[in-house]
Structure 1
Amino acid sequence: MATVNLATVSNDAQLDQSADLDELRSLLAEWDLGTGPADTTSFEILESPPQLRIFGYADFRPTTPSGPDSGEACVPDLPQFAEAIAPYLVEPLVVRTVVYEKLRHRPSAGQVRIMPDGTVVTEDLEHTGTTVGVPRAPQDLADRDSSFEMNAGLKVTILDPARDEEHTETGVKDVDTDYGSENTVTVTYLDDSTQTFEGPGVGITNVETPE
């Protein structure tokens, strides 16, 4: 049985220097930002300088906050979420989500931009060239895109949120992921050497094919 995986990650969006960060934390804590088969989407607020980051192995579907005694069903409401956090932003919050089934099928990816004025822009990132998430198998890429050169390899970005590190690996021909209590991403390079990244929250955030 195929396992469907989801991954969401945002930029570190700059926040207003005068913003009440505790107030923003309380506001975000009221929202269910997204859910997936094995995880939920979370947020982190960095303080020097103030920035907002959203991430998780789940989708990005902010759900309307609702009190336990309200009697109203909670439903996804991205416009309301954007309106709520917009006053804190000084640059767009860009959130990318990818859905994939290991390396078997081409992933589908989308992007949401929340502007400082509350405007929401959604984009489909499913196109030839650059995608987000786990890469397709190299031979599959070669079949679909005649501009892909096998000897150039892939460029893969791996996020390690627990250590606040981001790794960019080039010359990659294959990637294997195993998401559990300790996530593992194993990269195989064109020379057949391998490298493993592991830890809570470790995952792939971007994959680029050669120009």
Structure 2
Amino acid sequence: MQDFLFTILIVYPDDILVYAHIQEHTCWLDSVFERLKQHGIRLNPDKCRLIQQRTPFISHVLTPNGLETDPGKVEAVSEFPIPKTLNDLCSFLGLAGYYGKFVKGPFVLEVDASHQGLGAVLSQATDSGTKVVAYASRGLRNNERRMENYSSFKLELLALKWAVCEKFRGYLWGVSFTFFTDNNPLWHLHSAKLGATEQRWVAELAE
């Protein structure tokens, strides 16, 4: 199947998706069926969906216009009970964040840092203005409190890395967003001379 992969075929654990224009689709299906037969792989006819314009795949719905949300997943988010524990909250954020790219309105992240702690505010732009989604803060660890180890630039970069890669990862991973900081050197990350620690943080942000 390697020669078909990502040209007419996507395989995900035990699912196979064949995609093509309708004129070519049956031809490619024949080729895939023949390859499966050669390797002794059988399909369950009850689970096969052939020549579909819309089909569920990996918790999304594939359409001629691209990806759409799965109504069942949206219902699960909208009917999720109010979180009462930290585990409940993490479960909800993970579930809601999975469809973050479909949420209308760009995210805005504001970060700040001092030698006492880190702070961040995540907001979202809407038609009626900017709405706060969440606040976050934490104190500095002992090694972070040493002024000679953590300059104001390094603290602000730490705050940005912490907010993006840890606290709000479920919201921000894989989506574009705007961030604000009062530390001007952060705007020159790609041209600044960075130590090993800062380079590691920038690499985490780049993911």
Q: TM-score, normalised by structure 2?
A: 0.21
| Larger gyration radius, structure 1 or structure 2 | 2
User: Which structure has the higher relative contact order (CA within 8 Å, separation 6+)?
Assistant: 1
| Structure with the higher fraction of residues in helix conformation | 2
> When the two structures are superposed, what TM-score results if normalisation uses the length of structure 1?
0.21
More strand by share: 1
